[in-house]
Structure formats: structure tokens, C-alpha cells
Structure 1
Amino acid sequence: MNMQNPRRATEQQVSFDRRELAVILSLYGRMVAAGEWRDYGISCLRHSAVFSVFRRTAENPLYRIEKHPHLRNRQGMYAVIAMDGQILKRGYDLAIVVKVLERRLLRVIGE
């Protein structure tokens, strides 16, 4: 019987650290207060971590905030992807990358 060490399995997953989650959840809280977003999901996969944002629970995600560490030295490891798969912003600093969604919040409040 081949038993894998559970600790080793978790080491192979990519996840958001506390600083990254603080940036994402701050934006999420503001969008919930504006009535734009209502639910989220976090996926920690082998090669990436994904924070998905939903307007309603049963829908496809409006946006995905993804972390791909293997792209750190190329295009930047963070990306914001729209529901249709279009990459809205990609970069090295998460706070700068999620600003593309903050601009949408300003439009919502200004209307």
C-alpha cells in the first residue's frame, strides 16, 4: 500500500499568504458593501491559487484573482481574470493588480 505523507501533499499546493488575503479581502469587503459581490471561493491547487468572486452563489465567478508562482520572473505571478477569460491585469504586486477592480467600484459608487 502506497500512503502519501499528508504534510507533503499540502506543501505541493500554492496558497495565498496572510498579506495577500488582507489585500483581497479588503477589496472584497468594499464590493460587498457596495452590493456588487455576494460570495467567494478559494482554491489552492498544485500550481496556482485562485480567489473567485461571485455575484450569486450558483453563478460562474465574475472575476478570478490568481496567483501563479512559476510566472514570478516572467509576467508577474498575479492576474485578475474576467468571467469570459479575458486577463484584465497581470503583474508582480497584488495591490496594484487588484486596482483594476477598484476602478469598477468607483464607477458603481459614482452612479
Structure 2
Amino acid sequence: MTDQPDLQGSNRPQDASVVSLSEYRQSRDPAPVTFHRRELDAILRIYGRMVGEGEWKDYSIDHLKDRAVFCVFKRSGEMPLFRIEKNPKLAAKQGAYSVINTNGMILKRGHELPQVLKVFDKALKLID
């Protein structure tokens, strides 16, 4: 008796089968799209500034199969004032990032998140 496996027989279990890699990938549920740490840091920096100014009060984050969404609220029981979305399917076209208002109008879209977030920068006004 030895602790060595029997080399004469097959090492494969009887119920094993060969599956195509492409079939396996299609059968798996895709991982949800998420914001990376640097992206979330840039968004939360803007959020913190706006909370400090008293304009925003609450937020939510959704990680869906096709996109990630950061919603900003004036009050938690209302519709979001703005949605910051990351949609990787649009990365090669208009850009993966967009800022959308309550009415669904896209305020800004682009390939780089810091550029898209500039929509929240206030324009300087001349005071008489």
C-alpha cells in the first residue's frame, strides 16, 4: 500500500466534463460596475464641498450590471438632484462618465471624471 495515486487509471473524476471557456464566461453573472477609489474620492470631494455650502444633504450609490450611479439628494425622500454615472459601454464613444440632472438631461459627459465634475464648479460673478 502506498499513498501515491494510481497512475494506471485516470485522475479525472467520473462526473467531470470539458466546458468551453467562452460558454463558461457567458453563463457566469457579470460583476457589477463599481467606482474605483480615486473616482469615489473625486466625487466625495465635490459632495463634501456642496454639503458644506448647504446645497446637498444625502447621497446613494448603486452598482448595477451595466453602470455605477452616484445620486445626490437635497432631502433623502426626494428625487435625486444629480446622478453621476459611470457606463463602461460608452467609454469608446462619448465617454464613460456623465452628470445627469433631475429631468434626465445630460449636463456633461466625458472620458475623464475630473473634467466631467467641473460642471459643479461655480462661475465667478462680478459684484457691484
* TM bucket, shorter chain: 0.7 to 0.9
Structure 1 match to 2:51? 32
Root mean square deviation, CA, Å: 1.8
Tell me, in whole angstroms, the C-alpha distance in 1 between the residues paired with 2:122 and 2:97: 18
Q: Which amino acid aligns with 1:77?
A: A
In terms of Rg, which structure is larger? 2
TM-score, normalised with respect to structure 2: 0.73
Size of the alignment, in residue pairs? 99
1:77 correspondence with 2:96: yes
What residue in structure 2 maps to residue 3 of structure 1? Answer: none
Q: Which runs of 5+ in 1 are unaligned?
A: 1-7
Higher relative contact order (CA 8 A, sep 6+): 1
Deviation per CA, 1:70-106: give whole Å up to 9, x if none. 11110000000000000000000100101101227x6
Asked whether 1:91 is paired with 2:110, we answer yes
Cα distance between partner residues in 1 of 2:114 and 2:40: 11
Which of 69, 72, 88 aligns to 1:50? It is 69
Runs of 4+ residues over 6 Å off in structure 1: none
| Contiguous gaps of at least 5 residues in structure 2 | 1-27
Looking at structure 1, the residues matched to 46 and 98 of structure 2 have their Cα atoms a distance apart, in angstroms, of 15
**Aligned partner letter, 1:71:** L
Letter paired with 1:26: R
Task: Name the CA distance, whole Å, in 1 between partners of 2:108 and 2:122.
Answer: 12
SS in 2 for 1:70: helix
Residue 80 (structure 2) aligned to one of 61, 84, 91: 61
Query: 1:67 deviation in Å?
Result: 0.2
- % identical aligned pairs: 53
